Amino acid sequence: MLQRFKARLEATCLRLGVPYPWWLPLASAVLSIGFTLAALAQRGALLPPTPLALVLVPPAVYWLQWIITGWWMSPWLEAVIVTGFVAVLLTVPTGPVADFAPLVLVVGVAEVAATLRFRHAAVVAVLAAGVLVWSAARTGLIGTPVYLVSLVLGAQVGVALRWQIRALAAERENHAITREQAVSAERQRIAREVHDVVGHSLTITLLHLTGARHALQEDQDIAEAVEALTEAERVGRAAMADIRHSVGLLGSGPAETQPLPGIQDVPDLVERTQAAGIDVQYRQTGDLSIVDRTHGLGLYRIAQESLSNIAKHAPSATATVLLRADLDGTRLTVRNTLPAGCVTANVHGTGLNGMATRARQLGAVLNLGQQGEHWVVDLIMPFLGTDPTSVCPIRTVMS
């Protein structure tokens, strides 16, 4: 029941356009009713009850309406009613003691300032100040200047609360947008990972299966067919492990301990491509250990996508993979011969766009395109510490 009460209070605040926590309107109501009871007690109107105690009827009706319907009356109308019954209370002086009745006006002004526009709070504050000045002139209300200053402070507190809650709501919205953007970016990154893994692995697996079929149909070489099928199975299992790791990043469970591939795995990648029947040579210079894991993963995926494209579009080509890493930077070059009559006008496929995105994330320059009778993918990554935003992510070279 308490939770429903809190939720109902906050829902009511939301309908007024001010998403305050439940305890703020409750605290305001407790203060207002408490000051009213204290003012009545000062005037001896509670025990035994006198007609003056009827000023408790408006707050009771107000809360009864909310309990039954879940709706509050307009803060503007509430302020007018509060000002009216406080004026009635002030017709009965309390003598030479501080009066609690004007404090009800202070709470009322703060409520209006916290829920409505500033001009509404100003009008209510002027109306309340008029009641206090009238009471000072008619009944000799003591401490009128203090009460007038309290009205101003109440209005200021209400305005500050309203602006603070609006700023908090805007900040929460910005955080939600930022979180959605981060989730979207992570999903795109994982999609690229899965694309690279599946594309390369399926291509290599199909080449092995094709080799096995040829070995059985044309050469009747069972041993060669079994070797090709075994290699296809190994590549498939490795791909499934990579896919599980990448997709597992979408879950909320603990991360797997299996490391992602890096630049040191490029030689193995070339060996698997060679085993699939692609004529590809690998040359390496420099110290690969100076490349961190994040940049190494990006380089590996670009090499993987390049070799996959060769296997899919030019399986009979001769290819070379050159990898250099030193303090001047890292350079990956994948070059392959083009089949006769190959058209390379469209250089913006999904895989190439994925390589361009990775190059941008690495802060590298990616040159790709036809150079004479070769197709070249050339990635140049400056030494770590270069500002990624200061370099061009992709260039298309055609000749």
Q: Which helix (H) or strand (E) holds 281?
A: strand 279-286
Query: Is 110 a domain residue?
Result: yes
Give yes or no: residues 18 and 162 share one domain: yes
Query: Is 62 a domain residue?
Result: yes
Give yes or no: residues 294 and 157 share one domain: no
How high is the pLDDT of residue 116? 87
- Choose the final residue of a domain: 178, 205, 223: 178
CATH number (domain holding residue 300): 3.30.565.10
pLDDT tens-digit series, residues 265-302 = 899 889 888 887 788 999 999 888 888 887 888 888 89
- Choose the final residue of a domain: 124, 155, 178: 178
Please report where in the chains the tokens 């994925």 appear, as a residue: 354
**Residue 191 pLDDT exceeds 80:** no
Strand order in the sheet with 395-396: 279-286, 318-326, 329-337, 374-382, 365-371, 395-396
Query: Is 191 a domain residue?
Result: no
How high is the pLDDT of residue 80? 86
How high is the pLDDT of residue 127? 93
Burial of 277 (0-12, 13-18, 19+ CB in 10 A): middle
What does the pLDDT average to over 36-50?
A: 89
Give yes or no: residues 45 and 164 share one domain: yes
The reported pTM is: 0.50
**Residue 343 pLDDT exceeds 60:** no
Query: Residue 231 and residue 141: Cα distance in Å, rounded?
Result: 98
Give yes or no: residues 144 and 285 share one domain: no
- Distinct helix (H) and strand (E) counts, the chain: 11, 6
Give yes or no: residues 8 and 146 share one domain: yes
Give yes or no: residues 7 and 155 share one domain: yes
Name the residue type at position 370. Answer: Q
Q: Give the tokens for residue 174.
A: 């910005």
**Residue 198 pLDDT exceeds 80:** no
Query: Is 291 a domain residue?
Result: yes
pLDDT tens-digit series, residues 221-253 = 788 777 777 877 777 777 666 666 656 655 544
- Choose the final residue of a domain: 178, 197, 221: 178
Full domain range(s) for residue 308: 277-399
**Contacts of 209-212 spanning 24+ positions with Cβ under 8 A:** 211/276, 211/277
Query: Residue 221 and residue 189: Cα distance in Å, rounded?
Result: 43
Residue 325, beta-bridge partner list: 286, 330
Query: Is 270 a domain residue?
Result: no
**Residue 133 pLDDT exceeds 80:** yes
Burial of 390 (0-12, 13-18, 19+ CB in 10 A): exposed
How high is the pLDDT of residue 360? 84
What does the pLDDT average to over 339-358?
A: 68
Give yes or no: residues 25 and 133 share one domain: yes
Query: Is 56 a domain residue?
Result: yes
Give yes or no: residues 291 and 169 share one domain: no
Q: Give the tokens for residue 178.
A: 């930022």
Query: Is 267 a domain residue?
Result: no
For the chain, the domain total comes to 2
How high is the pLDDT of residue 389? 39
Query: Is 157 a domain residue?
Result: yes
